[in-house]
Amino acid sequence: MTITFKLFSRVLKGGKKTIRLRVYNRIKDSIQDFKITTGLKVYPKFWDKEAERVTKDHPDFEVINTKLSEIKQRRESLLNRFDAGVLSFDAVCNQIMSNSDMNTLDDFIEVKIKELKSDVTYNDYKVKLAGFKKLVRIKGKLTFTALGKKDLIVKAHSNAQKRQKEGTLASRSYSGYIGTIKTIVSLACYLDYTDLKLDIPNMYLSIDKTRDKNQSITKNKGHKVEDVLESINNITSLKQWEAVSQWMLMFMLRGFYPGDIVKGLKQVNIQDTDQNQIGNQKLTYATDGIYIYHHRSKSVRPMYIHVFQKPIFSLIRKLKFVAVYNHADLEIGGKTILADINDNLSIFDYEMDNNSESHKKFWKHRQRRLAVVGGLRIIKARKTFNQTAQRLEISSDVRALLLGQSASNRILNEHYNDNTIPELLVKVDKAHRDVLERFRCEEILDRLLIKLKYLVNKNKLPGWLLCESPVFKNGRDITVVTGVEGGLNNPEPIITKIVDPKFRKYFNKYNSTEVQDFSITYPMIQEFIDAEKRMSKIKELIV
């Protein structure tokens, strides 16, 4: 095989020609011939064919010759690996203009996986490869050649069993490492970056999960109502209030994960029980008819969820405005993370798939605040919902529907069942409501409302955080109703102006079609008043 530099015959505007690479190989009676541009353009009279570089008289000769030297170094490496039978002709052609020779799994992930896969998958592959290398004690990059040695997989399996016995590695982690390694090699082979075929016997693909030390009875335990109540009592800041309230929202939405909060709570997901999209119609909210049809962010399993007016939608409204105060300046992917004010359901709206690290970091801050106030764990909201349903003796099939998981009979579930049959929805809705009642969710909402009002008053935060109305615009004035004075027969609304320019920008986008009749907001204002009345009957300290 030869790899040579050639000037393209066509003269470009300005008198320059493009430098191309010719990869040539003869196999008996057949010829392999591939040409690829380097992207470099030079004046022909300054091109030194023998030295494969431009002379000192060429403009920017140092920059051009540096790039040519990089290609020549890569050429030598690729030719050596081709002669050794490690790379095919197509693999050499694919890699000759790459910034990396990609003879390692690390480089392949960094270049091709990053290009072809989502940001989430790219980061997952990096983590899994790092776990595998730690398992076999490789500190540098892992080459395809090294992986091809059979003893490496045997060593990985043996070390995994030892670490499993010590309790420092779970069977699921090992299976994830091996599965990812196989996927990377298979893709690299298909794209001609390696000729390695990784045929691993079944006995080395996994370790016995029944031997996992952390597979104990306590591992799957969720939280108790008392854990949430303790967390609420310990809240001292608005960001802590937001973290605890987000945990409760994930629980009440039948075990949502953070990704579901971002993707699932959108008005475009609102449907009626016949799966007709109905969007942001006010009647839907007024009649407690909010159903969202959402595919879980982790498993893509469908969930058809009744967003009950109380306590779920009520908490969403509070979280939406608290998010404005806490995160008005925060961006992910160059855009604000806040959802449009005109979307009644959405709290956050940003691109997750290509910003997975920013997404994880954003929610990690919430986990830290939860740890401070009482130790709630985001990952356990789903387990807690399921175990509350277990205590109510709700069947496993109904719990599967509640949680967005496959029912016990996979064939029936995937090919025959219609999970939106009205009679079934009624049964699922009842189970959902029963779980919320068992976990005392309306009482918890009351406590959160009172704590929110307490924080606003104590810390002299903007009154609009207690917003319980549409946004009213009159000239340059932007106002909301944040409370009520007077008796039931003659209520007088407390009007709060939005003054801070940072927040006015958000509220000003509200599409106001309301007449300035504050009486329409009275039922919503009653939420704080009713919460205080109900809590006054409970003889314990709330704040």
CB count, 10 Å around CB of 177? 22
Contact by Cβ (8 Å): 480, 498 = yes
Cβ-count burial 65-76 (b if 16+ within 10 Å, e if not): beebeebeebbe
Q: Which of 286, 261, 288, 260 is nearest to 273 (CA)?
A: 288
542: confidence class by pLDDT, cuts 50, 70, 90? very low
522: confidence class by pLDDT, cuts 50, 70, 90? low
Asked if pLDDT for residue 391 goes beyond 90, the answer is yes
543: confidence class by pLDDT, cuts 50, 70, 90? very low
Q: What is the mean pLDDT of residues 510-517?
A: 63
Spatial separation of the C-alpha atoms in residues 228 and 224, rounded to whole Å: 7
Q: In what order do the strands lie in the sheet with 17-27?
A: 2-7, 17-27, 30-42
Cβ-count burial 226-253 (b if 16+ within 10 Å, e if not): ebbbebbeebeebbbbbbbbbbbbbbbb
Asked if pLDDT for residue 152 goes beyond 90, the answer is yes
**DSSP 3-state assignment of 338?**
strand
Q: In what order do the strands lie in the sheet with 492-497?
A: 472-474, 477-485, 492-497
Contact by Cβ (8 Å): 344, 338 = no
Give the pLDDT of residue 392.
Answer: 96
Give the pLDDT of residue 62.
Answer: 93
Q: What percent of the chain has pLDDT over 70?
A: 88
Asked if pLDDT for residue 219 goes beyond 90, the answer is no
Asked if pLDDT for residue 204 goes beyond 60, the answer is yes
Amino acid at 212: D
Give the pLDDT of residue 359.
Answer: 93
Q: For residue 172, give both structure tokens.
A: 């699921």
Give the pLDDT of residue 469.
Answer: 72
Mean pLDDT is lowest, of 56-70, 172-186, 523-537, for 523-537
Give the pLDDT of residue 296.
Answer: 83
Q: Which residues pair with 291 in a beta bridge?
A: 271, 306
Asked if pLDDT for residue 215 goes beyond 60, the answer is no
**DSSP 3-state assignment of 116?**
helix
Q: For residue 414, give both structure tokens.
A: 């995937």
Widest Cα–Cα separation across the chain: 100
Asked if pLDDT for residue 518 goes beyond 80, the answer is no
Helix (H) or strand (E) holding 155: helix 150-166
Q: What is the mean pLDDT of residues 85-89?
A: 80
Amino acid at 307: V
Asked if pLDDT for residue 485 goes beyond 80, the answer is no
Give the pLDDT of residue 410.
Answer: 64
Mean pLDDT is lowest, of 77-81, 266-270, 352-356, 383-387, for 266-270
Spatial separation of the C-alpha atoms in residues 387 and 367, rounded to whole Å: 21
Higher pLDDT, 197 or 391: 391
Asked if pLDDT for residue 217 goes beyond 50, the answer is no
Asked if pLDDT for residue 262 goes beyond 50, the answer is yes
Q: Which residues pair with 19 in a beta bridge?
A: 7
Asked if pLDDT for residue 409 goes beyond 70, the answer is no
First to last CA, the chain: 79
Q: What angle do CA 31, 32, 37 make, to 5 degrees?
A: 140
Give the pLDDT of residue 538.
Answer: 65
Q: What angle do CA 37, 43, 49 make, to 5 degrees?
A: 70
Q: What is the mean pLDDT of residues 200-216?
A: 84
What are the boundaries of each domain within the chain?
A: 2-88, 105-211, 225-443, 462-536
Give the pLDDT of residue 514.
Answer: 53
Taking each helix axis from N to C end, the angle separating 314-327 and 441-458, rounded to the nearest 10 degrees, works out to 30
Q: What is the mean pLDDT of residues 299-314?
A: 87
330: confidence class by pLDDT, cuts 50, 70, 90? very high
Give the pLDDT of residue 444.
Answer: 96
Q: What is the mean pLDDT of residues 210-239?
A: 84
Whole-number Cα distances in Å, 347 to 79, 257, 322, 343: 55, 14, 9, 8
Q: What is the mean pLDDT of residues 29-37?
A: 86
Q: Are strands 30-42 and 17-27 parallel, antiparallel or unpaired?
A: antiparallel
Cβ-count burial 400-434 (b if 16+ within 10 Å, e if not): bbbbbbebeeeeebeeeeeebeeeebeebbebbee
Spatial separation of the C-alpha atoms in residues 419 and 304, rounded to whole Å: 8
Q: What percent of the chain has pLDDT over 90?
A: 49
Spatial separation of the C-alpha atoms in residues 139 and 181, rounded to whole Å: 16
Tens of pLDDT, residues 96-125: 876 555 678 998 898 888 888 888 888 899
Give the pLDDT of residue 413.
Answer: 64
Average pLDDT for the chain: 86
397: confidence class by pLDDT, cuts 50, 70, 90? confident
Amino acid at 238: L
HEC string of 344-382 equals CCCCECCCCCCCHHHHHHHHHHHHHHHHHHCCCCCCHHH
Give the pLDDT of residue 523.
Answer: 54
Give the pLDDT of residue 69.
Answer: 92
Mean pLDDT is lowest, of 22-31, 58-67, 258-267, 527-536, for 527-536
pTM: 0.71
